[in-house]
Amino acid sequence: MKATFKDIEHPMAHEDATPTVRPNEQHDLLRISTAGSVDDGKSTLIGRLLHECKSIYDDHYKSMINDSKKWNRDGMDYALLLDGLKAEREQGITIDVAYRFFSTPNRHFIVADTPGHEQYTRNMATGASTADLAIILVDASKGLLPQSRLHASIASLLGIKRAVVAVNKMDLVGYKQKYFRDIEQSFRSFAEKLNFTDVRFIPMSALKGDNVVKKSKAMPWYEGTALLPYLESLYIGSDRNLIDLRFPVQYVNRPTADFRGYCGTVESGVIRRGDAIMVLPSGKETKVKSLVTMDGELDYAYPHQAITVCLEDEIDISRGNILVHPGNVPKIDRQVEANVVWMSEEPLDITKKYLLRQNTNEVRAVVSNVKYQIDTNTLHRKESDTLQLNQVGQLSIECFKPLAYDAYEQNRKTGAFILIDPVTYNTVAAGMLLDKQNATSLFSDDGTQEPVANNIYRYNGAVTSSDRQGALGQKASCLWLTGLSGAGKSTVAYALEEELLRQHVHPYVLDGDNVRHGLNRDLGFSPEERRENIRRVAETARLMMDAGLVVICSFISPFKEDREMARKIIGDRFFEVHVDASLETCESRDPKGLYQKARNGEIANFTGVSAPYEAPSNPDLVLNNDRDATLDGAVSRLMDFLKQHKIQV
């Protein structure tokens, strides 16, 4: 039986059901953007969340009831809480971006309801630009559509690392698990090329309320949490950049002859009284005299605080300048690389001058080159000399004066910009600045590339690698252990290191997790980043071998092409060792709990689950490290192998 309007009770009808919108409370704030194709239920989902969280005021609630009747909706239409334009209500679609604030006892939320139509992609990009999380809705009855792929691509491009794939309208497919799993598999395959680090899949019906706030009894096969509990528990504290001080000057405050302060918002990092400060782009240095606010002076200030900074010395500083710590300076360049979303109906014209606005800074600029356009459906690159409305591409931009910036991936606040038409003053593009070194591939097909910098030369001293090996009494070698997570690579590597030391051989272990805490801490797990991870490790191993050491590399290194690149970089005495254990065995061990997280959708691009592993076709040695193997046996085989290759001289 269908619910009538009389059957639906106002969420504030009970005496104990008070509004929970308390913006002054000190709960952490989660910014959410919705994404997906047309009519996937984005507005309905947000309306349902507002309703269930008792965040609808009486006049809004009555208006929703009246408008549901007026537009002949089947029952209560929660989307009307978000669709404010007349055209949206008539057509049942979202055109503009609608922001709504709601709260639970555990957290505050700001959610952006973004349009699904292709012609409003620029509106979607605007809504996603400040989000911590993207909720990507997919209609269970239709599957993953091109527009869903487009929105997921743009969300990833805009630096959103977390995504919830809400497989909506499960009621239309009888709540059958097969539809959910098919969409999950399709999205995982597509998302391997994206930069999401955390993807969660939730089956739901926004209209019926299944798995929105509470677990649904209609889908007992789903073992995860409902949407709202997941959003409440999601940790985002580590997202704040407290290291790189970036304070763009917005206004020079000079109320009297005795006071000069520089107003703005701390975008990242921490600024303290007495700190040494550098002003960019001039490069002049001074110290912080005081930090002034409406409530008095502060000892320090952190991200998102609006303050006035007073300095010890009088320096020529104006709007658009940026204050940083002298030992932590952003890049300064006139020529930059950027990914952009084109937002104008007039196509990109490389002969035209634009205004580039970054934070409070504004400079004239020209697009010197369209490097390529990105097909957001396939993520393939296409040659192009322009960009049309809603297209995404990578550009080379030349500014008329130096720009101080960070790569967008490192700092969204100083890595974001917009391009403005100087005649109409319309925003024509939104961009994400790139580290120029990483703007294109860092390596050629053979695993080597000339340095980016000019006028640098190799210098060889009188002591050769052979001299060092002779002094140590050993032959420099690299044992490259590859295999699935949990196969036992690290365990074998460190046991071998101990045995080599007992045999008076000088070894060193390079372990996958360890290098990602330091040398490769800036890399994720996309195929390109995995390849760069292996390239850096191979270069490090080559330097260690030049010092005469036996280097034991323990890395999943799932792709044959990457391992071949490492072999070419390292050269002679590179030995590929396959630590061979079945997926079932590795998953049963799961020492770090990673397989379980990957199965739950908490880890994207996980080898063996959501990313492939290409086993070596002709390794130098195979260690069968399944359940029946012993650690002593594996080490013994490796020692025999090294003796055969005359490790000691």
The mean-pLDDT minimum among 92-106, 156-170, 248-262 falls in: 92-106
Note whether residue 448 is domain-resident. Answer: no
User: Phi and psi of 496, rounded to 5°?
Assistant: -65, -40
The domain boundary, picked from 236, 263, 280, lies at 236
Write down the pLDDT at residue 387: 93
Q: Which pLDDT tens digit goes with each residue over 167-213?
A: 999 999 999 999 999 999 999 888 887 888 889 999 999 888 899 99
Mean confidence (pLDDT) of the chain: 82
The mean-pLDDT minimum among 266-280, 365-379, 470-484 falls in: 365-379
Residue 589 in this model has a pLDDT that exceeds 80? yes
Note whether residue 58 is domain-resident. Answer: yes
Pairs from 382-387 (Cβ < 8 Å, separation ≥ 24): 385/350, 386/347, 386/348, 386/349, 386/350, 387/340, 387/342, 387/347, 387/348, 387/429
Task: Round to whole Å and give the CA distance between 173 and 210.
Answer: 13
Highest mean pLDDT among 227-241, 518-532, 544-558: 544-558
Tell which wins on pLDDT, 456 or 355: 355
Question: Is residue 86 domain-shared with residue 197, that is, in the same domain?
Answer: yes
The mean-pLDDT minimum among 48-57, 480-489, 556-565 falls in: 48-57
Task: Round to whole Å and give the CA distance between 344 and 586.
Answer: 51
- CATH, residue 88: 3.40.50.300
Q: Which pLDDT tens digit goes with each residue over 578-587?
A: 999 888 888 8
Task: Round to whole Å and give the CA distance between 397 and 483.
Answer: 42
The domain boundary, picked from 306, 324, 342, lies at 324
Tell me the pLDDT band of 459, cut-offs 50, 70 and 90: low
Pairing of strands 276-280, 284-293: antiparallel
Question: Is residue 397 domain-shared with residue 514, that is, in the same domain?
Answer: no
Residue 56 in this model has a pLDDT that exceeds 80? no
- Preceding amide of 281 cis, omega within 30: yes
| Lookup result for tokens 């061979």 | 580
Q: What's the mean pLDDT in 243-248?
A: 92
Write down the pLDDT at residue 438: 46
Question: Is residue 339 domain-shared with residue 425, that is, in the same domain?
Answer: yes
Task: Round to whole Å and give the CA distance between 633 and 27.
Answer: 55
- CATH, residue 286: 2.40.30.10
Can 557 be counted among the known catalytic residues? yes
Task: Round to whole Å and give the CA distance between 89 and 69.
Answer: 12
Write down the pLDDT at residue 220: 94
Q: What's the mean pLDDT in 632-638?
A: 92
Question: Is residue 286 domain-shared with residue 305, that is, in the same domain?
Answer: yes
Note whether residue 456 is domain-resident. Answer: no
Residue 533 in this model has a pLDDT that exceeds 70? yes
Pairing of strands 392-405, 331-342: antiparallel
Cβ-based neighbours of 604, under 8 Å, separated by 6 or more: 188, 191, 192, 194, 196, 197, 198, 199, 525, 610
Task: Round to whole Å and give the CA distance between 115 and 99.
Answer: 12
The domain boundary, picked from 279, 302, 324, lies at 324
Question: Does residue 598 contact residue 589 with C-beta atoms inside 8 Å?
Answer: no
Question: Is residue 486 domain-shared with residue 353, that is, in the same domain?
Answer: no
Residues in the chain: 649
Write down the pLDDT at residue 321: 93
Question: Is residue 44 domain-shared with residue 132, that is, in the same domain?
Answer: yes
Tell me the pLDDT band of 19, cut-offs 50, 70 and 90: very low
The burial of 474, by beta-carbon neighbours within 10 Å (0-12 exposed, 13-18 middle, 19 or more buried), is given as buried
Q: How far is CA 139 from CA 37, 136, 307, 571, in A?
A: 8, 10, 46, 52
H or E, element range at 353:
strand 353-358
86 token code pair: 């007349």
The mean-pLDDT minimum among 173-177, 210-214, 490-494, 598-602 falls in: 598-602
Say how many C-beta atoms besides its own lie within 10 A of residue 383's C-beta. 8
Question: Is residue 313 domain-shared with residue 349, that is, in the same domain?
Answer: no
Question: Is residue 431 domain-shared with residue 502, that is, in the same domain?
Answer: no
Tell me the pLDDT band of 574, cut-offs 50, 70 and 90: very high
Residue 249 in this model has a pLDDT that exceeds 60? yes
Task: Round to whole Å and give the CA distance between 446 and 2.
Answer: 65
Note whether residue 495 is domain-resident. Answer: yes
B/e letters for 413-451, b = 16+ CB within 10 Å, e = fewer, are bbbbbbbbbeeeeebbbbbbbbbeebbeeebeeebeeee
Question: Is residue 106 domain-shared with residue 221, that is, in the same domain?
Answer: yes
Q: Which domain holds residue 54?
A: 5-236
Note whether residue 497 is domain-resident. Answer: yes
Strand boundaries in 56-107, DSSP class E = 98-103
Task: Round to whole Å and give the CA distance between 33 and 99.
Answer: 9
Residues paired with 290 in a beta bridge: 310
Highest mean pLDDT among 47-56, 114-123, 421-430, 434-443: 421-430
End-to-end CA distance of the chain: 86
554 token code pair: 């323990």
Note whether residue 455 is domain-resident. Answer: no
Task: Round to whole Å and give the CA distance between 332 and 283.
Answer: 10
Residue 15 in this model has a pLDDT that exceeds 90? no
Which one of 368, 557, 588, 617 is the catalytic residue?
557
DSSP letters for 254-287? -SSTT--EEEEE--BS-EETT-EEEEETTTEEEE
Residue 127 in this model has a pLDDT that exceeds 80? no
Tell which wins on pLDDT, 54 or 630: 630
Which residue, 297, 358, 275, is CA-closest to 322? 358
Residue 429 in this model has a pLDDT that exceeds 50? yes
Note whether residue 15 is domain-resident. Answer: yes
| Lookup result for tokens 């002969």 | 351
Question: Is residue 190 domain-shared with residue 309, that is, in the same domain?
Answer: no
Tell me the pLDDT band of 64, cut-offs 50, 70 and 90: low
Q: Which pLDDT tens digit goes with each residue over 347-366?
A: 999 888 999 999 899 999 99
Note whether residue 596 is domain-resident. Answer: yes
Q: What's the mean pLDDT in 328-346?
A: 90
Q: What's the mean pLDDT in 1-6?
A: 35
Q: How far is CA 214 from CA 52, 177, 227, 236, in A?
A: 10, 18, 8, 23
How many structural domains comprise the chain?
A: 4
Q: Which pLDDT tens digit goes with each residue over 21-41?
A: 333 333 478 998 888 777 777
Which residue, 603, 644, 494, 490, is CA-closest to 192? 603
Write down the pLDDT at residue 26: 39
Q: What's the mean pLDDT in 70-87?
A: 50
Question: Is residue 138 domain-shared with residue 277, that is, in the same domain?
Answer: no
Question: Is residue 587 domain-shared with residue 618, that is, in the same domain?
Answer: yes
